Each structure stands twice: as structure tokens, then as C-alpha cells.
Amino acid sequence: MAAVFSASRVLGKKILPSKPLLTFCPAIRKLHFYINGKRGDAKVTDAMSMHYPVVDHEFDAVVVGAGGAGLRAAFGLSEAGFNTACVTKLFPTRSHTVAAQGGINAALGNMEEDDWRWHFYDTVKGSDWLGDQDAIHYMTEQAPAAVVELENFGMPFSRTEDGKIYQRAFGGQSLKFGKGGQAHRCCCVADRTGHSLLHTLYGRSLRYDTNYFVEYFALDLLMEGGECQGIIALCMEDGSIHRFRAKNTVIATGGYGRAYFSCTSAHTSTGDGNAMVARGGLPCQDLEFVQFHPTGIYGAGCLITEGCRGEGGILINSEGERFMERYAPNAKDLASRDVVSRSMTIEIREGRGVGPEKDHVYLQLHHLPPQQLATRLPGISETAMIFAGVDVTKEPIPVLPTVHYNMGGIPTNYKGQVITYKDGEDKVVPGLYACGEAGCASVHGANRLGANSLLDLVVFGRACALTIAENNTPGEKIAPLKANAGEESVANLDKMRFANGNTRTSEIRLNMQKTMQSHAAVFRTGEVLKEGCVKMDALYQTLDDIRTFDRGIVWNTDLVETLELQNLMLNAMQTINAAEARKESRGAHAREDFKASQLIGERVDEYDYSKPMQGQDKKPFNKHWRKHTLSYIDPKTGKVTLEYRPVIDDSLNAEDCAAIPPAIRSY
């Protein structure tokens, strides 16, 4: 019965009375008339409504985003009795989490003896000591319980013969603090772990009467006196504006891969949450750390699995040379991801790239027997034909290191509360939480390990729900919103809807993506980054001259993509400026001008950990780089300001789990 009720809620969407309580009249809009009749003939009768009907809702909590983290938070809150709204621009099972085919790491110990403290060590090391050890402690300790909980919810994990959850090996996971060989701790549901997670959590949350607002585009946070009071969103179905008043807002909007020309992310990864937070005057953390996967199809960006190279595929340059032999004589094409990415980039920079613009390399598979290709790598042949027009039995596939994940995001503590850093202390922003790829707790630090992301989603989605439940009671009375709260967002929406400048949305977007791809990619150097910052700044100003063509308000994809572009620009500006400022190599941020050798980066820590610490003076905070970047941006001018906050080096409980002191990262 509850399921039927929930079904009608999901389909009915608008739950509260939809009598518009007020309307917004934006300031007088200048109409552009072109007397020569060339373009943008704005006919006055062309249904340009100056009024936007607004619907107000009140909830105990509102979650923005319905991917793995958002669904887990919404479910946790509903289960705890809170009246929860989940606002999402996509149907929940269509969130980007569905693309995840890997698995979830957890030290269950089903394949061999395991201990979550070893997982803790692997994650701290993987983050290149930029991860906050209290958050990593929380995540790795909770991991087994989180996986068992999902199993109880009905998630059909792959099993061993004796019925235990099957676990497989994954990169960067070891036993006995790196000394006991490869660990097997990745739990999966065949190759559809992401889909299964979404399906399970969505189904469960409906049982607890979570209110879903599907295909609503969240515009902004409603901030009042430094406190978050809810969000304002656009309903795509009828063009109405909705304000969600809630004492607790959880942001789970995912990453912003689409700021780059080549990324493995869906077109929905536009960093909406990061931008909402930035417009609210709050900082984003560590945005310069962007993870690159070596083989994404050139242009399309679809991931070509590492398995290709495992089956004998090789990377070649314009001279037909297998260049990995030079960079990694032993491992060759199967060296670790960042080594391969950097090698490919060096080849391109030195002029040995392929294609008309010499800007990518080839992945050759046609030397392998067609039989092997068909049986072992069937998906690759299809993907290459569909997206590159290439027959893998005859031609090589064009590939490029491709943006895959954003380690940075909205800074939170280990409980999921959003923080700022003032007067040397972390200060919680009341009413605001973040989790998933959008959040930065920070468990991934400078580099993420595979299969840790799905774990991040469920653990911190749950953490947000728990923290809210601990500090609030359902049905608490809250002060109403100011009458004009969210006015600026609607004015911006209106402005974008009728924008009639000279540069199309798609042009600005392509320019931004190409700039980021050439100036803030795998290998970064000071001058190239500086040049990129200048170019991006100029591009940011062109946003004022943008041009859209769809003037409607119902299902206006052009408008949504323009708003997404605004969000991407805010993320991209902060990323490139933070990368330019960080003068060291750490994890995924590799600076060619700060490296110990061609492939190994040089970290600038408070001590030089490659030498004994005795006799060394500790560098002061402003002279080393083992710290988090906090970036603020002024949306009007695009100016980025940077501050820094220290890494948390203590675990939650030193007796339970000893913190790992920094060391040189070698595998």
C-alpha cells in the first residue's frame, strides 16, 4: 500500500497545493530589435512572459541530486522520519552512478584475511597524504557494515560458492599495510554495480515516502545570514519556479567532467552543486585535482578499458612507435594509469601526436587475431565503430587521456557538514551538507583509488542522514523564507532565456572545453597554466554576450544547457586558477616544472620525507603545499580568490587506528 501511495507521489510530482503564492517580475528587460531582419527578430507577441509563477514547499530536508549519494541520504532521512524532498534533473536510475561497472571496496575478509586498517592505509597513501585521515578512518571502518547493509536491502552482490560476497582485486589495494601483496576487497554486482545500487536505494526510499521532484533543475541555494535555508528550482515540465524551504539541504550533484573537451562522464556532469555553493559565497576545495584515465576515445571520451592493453593492445605515436617501451621499459603499456597518461601527453607535446591537429595517439588492436578481439573484447569493437567510425580489425583507435573523476568539491567534515575555514578553524555552515563526488570530505585527497568512489557515496550519503537525524527533529518549525528570496536566480534565468548577444552557448562551451583540455590537462606547466587562466578569464567575460534561441519555458533544453554552462564555467575558473597556484606535483596534479624525475612528481611537504626527519626544520604553513586549496569565485567578474586549510592528520581514534605519517609514495 505504501508502495502504491509512493507511486502516485512519484508520478504526481507536485504534492503541496500549487496555488502560486507570488510571482516574480524581473527588472525591465531590454528587447533587442534587429531592423535589418537578420536575426533574433523579437516579436512582442512571441509569448515572452514577464511573470514566473512560484510554488513554495516546506520540508524537513531537501536533497539535491538522486545518484548513489543523494538516494542514500534521502533514504536515510526518510527512514528516520524526516519529511524529505529529493530534487533531481534526471530520473534517479538515470544518474551517472549507473555508468559505474566496477564495485565497492570493503574489508569483509571473504577472500582472504583482511582488516579495514589496511584499507585505511591504502587510501591514505593513494591520496598522496592530502586526504583527511579522520574521514578516511570513518569511511574504511564503516565500509563492511555499509556493504552488509546494502546486501540486506536486497542488492544482489556476486557470490562465491559458499554464498559469501565475492570480492576481487583492484588497483592500489594491498594487505598488511602494503607488505602483504594484492588485496581482494572489491564487491560487485556482475558488471552493473552502479545500476543495482541506484535501483535498490530508489526502491527502498519510496517505501519510506520520500518525495521526488524529478526533472526539476536546481538553480541556487537560498542563503540567509550565512545559513542555508533551502533551494530554488525550475520545473522543466511546466516552467514554474519552486522554492524548497528546509532546515537541512544536502548537495549530491556529482562532478564536473564536462568542463573538459574529453571526459568519460555523461553530459549531465556539470558541477551544478559546486556552482550553487560558489554563488552562495562559499568555497570549493581542491578543485585542481582531476583524475585522468589514459584511454578514452578521442573526442567522444568513452572509456576504453585497461583490459585492452591487458590483451595485447599497444599505444603508438605518429611514427608508428610503441612509445611506452621508452617510458616504462618493464611494464610498457600496462604501467600505472598516471604514468601512461603522462607518457601520452609528453609524446603529443613533443609533436609526435596523430590526426590533423596532432593532438592524440593511437591504440592499436589490429595486430591481435580477430577471433581474440571478438571473444575477449566485444564491447570495444562496437564502441570503436559507433563513436570513432573505426574498424578495430583494420585501423587503430584514436585515444587521449580523459578526465574521469573530480577529487575536489564542496569541503565537508567527516560527518558530511559543509565547512568554511575562518580564523584558523573549521566552521560548520548551518543547514548545509554535501556528499558523493560533489563533496570533498576529503577521502580521496590528491588521487582516488578505484572502487572507493561507490563506497564514498554510500558512506557519506548515510553520514549526512545520520548527522541531520542527530541534530534535528522531524517536523521542526522553521522561519519562513523572505518574500523575495531567490529573486536573483530567477532574474538570471530570465536573462539567459532571452539572451540575444553574439556568441552561442555551444561556442563558449567548446572554447572552454578546449582551453581546459590544452592548459589544465595531465601535465601542467607554469606558463601554460598562466596562459590558460588569462584565456579562461576572457572567455568568462563572453558569457555576458551569450545567445540562446529557445524562448519557451517548457522543456527548454537550450536554457538548461546554458545554465549548466554557467555552472561549468565557475568550476573551470576555480580549477585552473588553483592549479596555477599550486607549485608542486602531488597525486593527479602533475607539474612539469616541479618534478623529481620525468615521471615522478615532487611534493613540497612540511618536511622532506625522503630524508630522515631529524635535523630538519618544519616548513611554515605558507611555505609548503601539503594543504587543501579553498577557492572562492565572484560570479559577476569571474575573479578567483584562493585560501588554504591544513590537512587533518589524526584519525578519529588513535587507539583504534593509528594515523599514517607521510612518506614517499612508491608502489
What ranges in 549-632 are assigned the alpha helix state H?
Answer: 557-581
When asked if residue 307 is in the footprint of another protein (CB under 8 A), the reply is no
Smaller CB separation from another protein, 96 or 243 = 96
Using CA atoms, how far apart are residues 120 and 175, in angstroms rounded to an integer? 11
Q: Known catalytic residue: 337?
A: yes
Question: Cell for 326?
Answer: 621508452
When asked if residue 94 is in the footprint of another protein (CB under 8 A), the reply is yes
When asked if residue 39 is in the footprint of another protein (CB under 8 A), the reply is yes
**Looking only at residues 412 through 451 of this chain, which bind another protein when binding is defined by CB under 8 A?**
none
Angle at which helix 193-207 crosses helix 452-471, to 10 degrees, equals 20
When asked if residue 66 is in the footprint of another protein (CB under 8 A), the reply is no
Min separation Cβ 138 and another protein, Å: 8
**Looking only at residues 151 through 190 of this chain, which bind another protein when binding is defined by CB under 8 A?**
151-154, 156, 163
| Of 183, 206, 457, 536, the one binding another protein by CB under 8 A | 206
101 is in an annotated binding site: yes
Tell me which stretch binds another protein (CB under 8 A): 86-94, 364-372, 577-585, 592-600: 86-94
**Out of 72, 204, 309, 337, which one is annotated catalytic?**
337
Residues facing residue 23 across a β-bridge: 53
Closest Cα to residue 515, out of 454, 575, 567, 442?
A: 575
Tell me which stretch binds another protein (CB under 8 A): 88-96, 332-340, 417-425, 626-634: 88-96
Min separation Cβ 592 and another protein, Å: 28
Tell me which stretch binds another protein (CB under 8 A): 74-82, 219-227, 525-533, 633-641: 74-82
95 is in an annotated binding site: yes
Closest Cα to residue 294, out of 338, 236, 248, 244?
A: 338
Under 8 Å between Cβ of 280 and 228: yes
DSSP H or E stretch at residue 470: helix 452-471
Per-residue binding string, another protein, 137-156, x by CB under 8 A, is -x--xx-xx--xx-xxxx-x
Phi, psi dihedral angles at 497 (to 5 degrees): -65, -35
Angle at which helix 2-12 crosses helix 193-207, to 10 degrees, equals 110
Closest Cα to residue 319, out of 292, 282, 341, 350?
A: 350
Using CA atoms, how far apart are residues 153 and 201, in angstroms rounded to an integer? 8
| Of 192, 332, 376, 595, the one binding another protein by CB under 8 A | 192
**Looking only at residues 498 through 537 of this chain, which bind another protein when binding is defined by CB under 8 A?**
504-506, 509-510
For residue 593, how many other CB atoms are within 10 A of its CB? 15
SS3 52: strand
SS3 326: helix
150 is in an annotated binding site: no
93 is in an annotated binding site: yes
| Of 117, 184, 185, 195, the one binding another protein by CB under 8 A | 195
Q: How far is CA 157 from the centre of its chain?
A: 25
Smaller CB separation from another protein, 552 or 646 = 552
Largest CA distance in the chain: 79
Smaller CB separation from another protein, 109 or 280 = 109
DSSP assignment letter at 618: P
* Binding residues for another protein, total number by CB under 8 A: 86
Using CA atoms, how far apart are residues 30 and 561, in angstroms rounded to an integer? 23
| Of 83, 84, 93, 651, the one binding another protein by CB under 8 A | 93
SS3 490: helix
Residue 171's Cβ-count burial label (10 Å; 0-12, 13-18, 19+) is middle
When asked if residue 45 is in the footprint of another protein (CB under 8 A), the reply is no
460 is in an annotated binding site: no
**Looking only at residues 538 through 577 of this chain, which bind another protein when binding is defined by CB under 8 A?**
549-550, 552, 554-558, 560-561
**Looking only at residues 232 through 291 of this chain, which bind another protein when binding is defined by CB under 8 A?**
236-237, 263-268
Using CA atoms, how far apart are residues 434 and 455, in angstroms rounded to an integer? 15
Min separation Cβ 210 and another protein, Å: 13
Min separation Cβ 272 and another protein, Å: 12
Question: Cell for 407?
Answer: 577529487
**Looking only at residues 362 through 391 of this chain, which bind another protein when binding is defined by CB under 8 A?**
378-379, 382-383, 385-389
Smaller CB separation from another protein, 487 or 550 = 550
Min separation Cβ 215 and another protein, Å: 8
Residue with cell 594509469: 337
Min separation Cβ 238 and another protein, Å: 10
100 is in an annotated binding site: yes
Residue 351's Cβ-count burial label (10 Å; 0-12, 13-18, 19+) is exposed
Q: Which residue ranges make up the annotated binding site?
A: 65-70, 88-103, 272, 293, 305, 404, 437, 448, 453-454
Residue ranges at the known binding site for substrate: 293, 305, 404, 448
Give the catalytic positions in this structure. Answer: 337
